[in-house]
Every structure is written in C-alpha cells, then in structure tokens.
Amino acid sequence: MTAARTALVAAALLSGLFAAIGNHAVAAESRLRVLIVIDESDDPFAERIRAEVSALGLEVVAVEPWRTGEPVESLEAVGRANQAAAAIRMVASRKGVEVWVANQPTGRSLLRQLIVDERPGTPNEGLVALQTAELLRTTLLSRSEVPAKPSPARAPPPPTAPPQIAASPPPPAIGGLQAGAGTLFSPGAGVPAVQIWISANRIVAGPFGVAVDVSAPLHAGTLSGPEGSARIDAWLGGAALFLRHERPEKGVYATAAAGLAAIRLNAAGSASAPLIASTQSATAAAVYARADGGIDVTRWLRLGLRLAAGVVPSGIDVKFAGNDAGTWGRPFLAGLVLLDLAWR
C-alpha cells in the first residue's frame, strides 16, 4: 500500500513538472518579438533601449550589420524577415531612434515613428529609451492578448529639462543697406584718407544680386613734397554684381562683389614760398572688387567688415608746381567696419 501511494505521488509530481515546462514553452512562444538593429559594437544607446524593451516582457532579437557586413536597407523589411512585431534602429544623427510596428496578427505595417531629442549636445539616451518602451507598450501590448510582464521596480529617471522648441532661423536677406567707415589708401599717394562707404544691394536670382556703391571722404588724405603739400579728397560711385553666401541658422554671411566705378579726385595744394598754391581735380574710370563678412546681431541688423581693392588704369597724377608729386589709384585699397540693415 505504501509503495502504491509513493508511485501516485511521484506521478503527480512528474505531471505537474511537465505541465509547468509546457506552460513555460507556450508562454515563451506567445511572447511578441521586437528586433533591434545595432550598427556599432558595444553601443550603450542600443543596450539601454534593449533593457527597457526587455523589461516589458517582450522578446528582443538583435541584428548587427557591423558584425555580419550585411547592410539593413529597410527597417520594415528586416522586421518582417525576422517575424518581428516591431523593429527599432538608431537614426543616422545618433539623436534618437526609428520605430516600426506591425499590426497583429495581420503583420501589415501599423506605425512608423521617429523618437528624437534635438536639443544641443548629447541626447538624453535614457529619456529616448523610456519613450521607445512606452510607445511599444501602448501600440503592441494594448492590442495583444498576451499579458505584459510587470516591469521590475526601478528608480525614476532623473528630472530632465522640458524640451525646448527652437525658433526657426530667419530666411536669407533679399536686400539691404550698408554703411561703413574706414581708411582709403593708394600706395605712393601719401597718408590714407578716412572714408564713409554706403551700399544698397538687392538679390536678383538665387545668391546673385546687384549693388550700388558710393564713397565720400570724412577726412582727406595728405600728400607732401619739397614744393608743399596737398589735401586729397576721393569720391567714388559704382555698380557691382555680387554673390552672397548665408547661414541663417548660424547667423553669419559672406559676400563677394566686382564692378565698375567713376572716381573724382580733388587735390587742394598748400605751396611752399615763393610757389603759389593751386587746386586741381580729375575724374577717371576704375574697376574694383570687395569682400564682406559679418554676423547677425538681430533679425535685421548685422555687423561686418569690408575689404576693397581697385585700380584706375590710367592713374591720376598729382602735381606740385608743375612737378609730379605722386600718382593716385594704382592701386587703391580700403578697409571698413560695416553696419548692415537687411530686409528679408
């Protein structure tokens, strides 16, 4: 009798053991599969996401192109090939993840979504991982009859600053008015003058535009010789074609221009005794080029620098008592500080 009772107990224990093993196998087979694409070895971002998704009770399968050498062209295709309910891959900028979810049980595409953290600096990987797990929980487990495995208790994530909505950069300027002041110098023609330079510009097509330039003296240059000295005033009026490159998101710009100008040169002499002082004027054509660069201070105000260079092909001779004292305009150079009023 004792042997029979012992046999019955052993049979009951074995039956329970087999039932538990069977239930465990059924549960394992019924778990939804999530595929994660890992493009780099020892990727902490991918491991963080894998941990969060596994905590939901989902089966996580990794595809590692860096190891196999087989590129993953389509997240949806690799997900279907592995019979996964969802697939995850880090975006190229490493600031978030791409998530694809299939409808259960049809397997058709249900959801494609990007979860990114665009704030400057390294993205908050923990926050992105939690948001990914929450997306899978709401889209997969809420539609599945398989109960979700309770997540183990874990400390709440550290508080993070609320996402900041970055203001869109201003559009490129389509025109503007520039005012600059600086020096105008012609080698061999004495002390440099102080000039004001005003430009009006307008974009015509793409980065190309036209500009009108006017320059006038603030303080005359001087030229001295044995016969005396002269105050030299230079006036410039010209038109130019320009090419502009702008980076509104960084608040910087650069412009290169070339054009034709007319220059009026006035020389008021102060002669040494017994010579008699005289005044002479001349007008000549010139070619010139300039380059500007600067930064945005506000949406409509910029600060910049201008370098200009040109040449008067014939030159303008300055004479004292009939003698050549110097030649102006071969070449002439200018350096200025700019205030740029831009309209967009």
Compute CA distances 2 → 5, 8, 10, 103, 283, whole Å: 5, 10, 12, 57, 132
Whole domain around residue 295: which residue ranges? Answer: 175-343
- For residue 195, name the pLDDT band (cuts at 50, 70, 90): very high
At 147-190, the pLDDT tens digits run 445 555 566 666 665 555 555 666 778 888 999 999 998 987 88
What CATH number is attached to the domain comprising 83?
3.40.50
Clarify whether residues 134 and 207 are in a common domain: no
Clarify whether residues 279 and 234 are in a common domain: yes
Asked, for residue 153, whether it belongs to a domain, the answer is no
Whole-prediction pTM = 0.48
With beta carbons less than 8 A apart as the criterion, state whether 310 and 287 touch. Answer: yes
**48: which residues sit within 8 A by CB, 6+ positions away?**
125, 126, 129
pLDDT greater than 90 at residue 208: yes
Rg, C-alpha atoms of the chain: 39
- For residue 26, name the pLDDT band (cuts at 50, 70, 90): very low
Q: Give the number of domains in the chain.
A: 2
Closest CA to 97 of 147, 154, 141, 35: 35
Asked, for residue 292, whether it belongs to a domain, the answer is yes
Clarify whether residues 115 and 67 are in a common domain: yes
- For residue 92, name the pLDDT band (cuts at 50, 70, 90): confident
Q: At what angle do helices 125-136 and 44-54 cross, to 10 degrees?
A: 30
- Number of other CB atoms surrounding residue 287 within 10 Å: 15
What CATH number is attached to the domain comprising 183?
2.40.160.20
Clarify whether residues 229 and 293 are in a common domain: yes
Report how far residue 208's alpha carbon sits from residue 31's, in angstroms, rounded to the nearest whole number.
61
pLDDT number for residue 128? 83
More confident of the two residues 309 and 53: 309
Asked, for residue 207, whether it belongs to a domain, the answer is yes
List the Cα angle 259/260/262 in 5-degree steps: 145
Clarify whether residues 180 and 81 are in a common domain: no
Mark which of 141, 161, 190 sits at the end of a domain.
Answer: 141
**Average pLDDT value for residue range 300-314:** 93
**Average pLDDT value for residue range 319-343:** 83
pLDDT greater than 60 at residue 17: no
Clarify whether residues 223 and 316 are in a common domain: yes
Clarify whether residues 189 and 127 are in a common domain: no
More confident of the two residues 216 and 7: 216
Clarify whether residues 74 and 209 are in a common domain: no
Report how far residue 314's alpha carbon sits from residue 144's, in angstroms, rounded to the nearest whole number.
88
Note the maximum CA span of the chain: 153
